[in-house]
Amino acid sequence: MVGNVMKNSSKLYLESFSGEKTEIEEIDFSNVLSSEHKKLLREHDGAITFTNGARFKIKRNKRPQVSDSDGWVSVDFLFGLGTDTNSLSFNNMNKPEELEDVTIIGGVQSGDFICIKNDNGSVYYWYHESFNEDESLFYLSKDFSEFFNNLEPDEKLDPEVEKRVKGIVKCDLGFLKNL
């Protein structure tokens, strides 16, 4: 199954941006993460972003308001190892109270999160502007492998954007902590 997760990496154009280094064993919630997820984290130097964006199609009827008419939601980055603002550690130590039963693994620029349920490993989309706590989590997949393998790249990059990002090797997204 580890190979299956890595297979999807090439079509998504993964890029890493790093902060302070840490080992996966140092993360308190590493027992929640699957072996496939841990392998992906070890292979990338920090958080993971998608050059041309990534999206996930919610197949159930219950969808957040931010999904398009076909049920697609954006996934902008996956948090990595370390202790900076783009890390699993930082985001889980500073998460909202209503997310105590999940581990945050990724984010969306709008302030929403991609989460794993601590009790069963299922992946959910958390819509932070929900009026009702019971209506804020949206089921995505049974586990991280299924989630990652069903991520799709957004449409082809605008040629002007493509020119700008081709030269970017890493970037500091520290400004996200103020969102």
User: 105 vs 15, which has greater pLDDT?
Assistant: 105
Indicate the burial class of 10 (C-beta count within 10 angstroms; 0-12, 13-18, 19 or more). Answer: exposed
When divided into structural domains, the chain yields a total of 1
User: 143 vs 62, which has greater pLDDT?
Assistant: 143
Q: Give the pLDDT mean for 147-171.
A: 66
Q: Give the pLDDT mean for 3-15.
A: 57
> In sequence order, which residues have a C-beta less than 8 Å from that of residue 118 and are 6 or more positions away?
29, 32, 101, 102, 103
| pLDDT bracket for residue 70 (50, 70, 90) | confident
Q: Give the pLDDT mean for 21-38.
A: 72
Q: Which residue has the tokens 């492998």?
A: 145
So what's the pLDDT on residue 53?
Answer: 83
Task: Identify the domain containing residue 51 by its residue range.
Answer: 2-178
Contact 130, 141 (CB under 8 A): no
Contact 79, 86 (CB under 8 A): yes
Residue 61 in this model has a pLDDT that exceeds 50:
yes
6-10, 118-122, 151-155: segment of lowest average pLDDT: 6-10
So what's the pLDDT on residue 55?
Answer: 92
So what's the pLDDT on residue 130?
Answer: 81
| pLDDT bracket for residue 150 (50, 70, 90) | very high
CA nearest to 17, candidates 167, 157, 173, 166: 173
92-147 pLDDT tens trace: 999 999 999 999 999 998 899 999 999 999 999 999 988 777 788 999 999 999 99
Q: Is 172 left (phi over 0), alpha (psi -120 to 50) or beta?
A: beta
Q: How many CA atoms lie within 13 A of 78 on its CB side?
A: 26
From residue 119, how far is each of 24, 101, 103, 113 by CA, in Å?
20, 8, 10, 18
DSSP annotation of 99 reads G
Average pLDDT of the chain, as a whole number: 79
CATH number of the domain that residue 8 is part of: 3.40.1580
So what's the pLDDT on residue 1?
Answer: 43
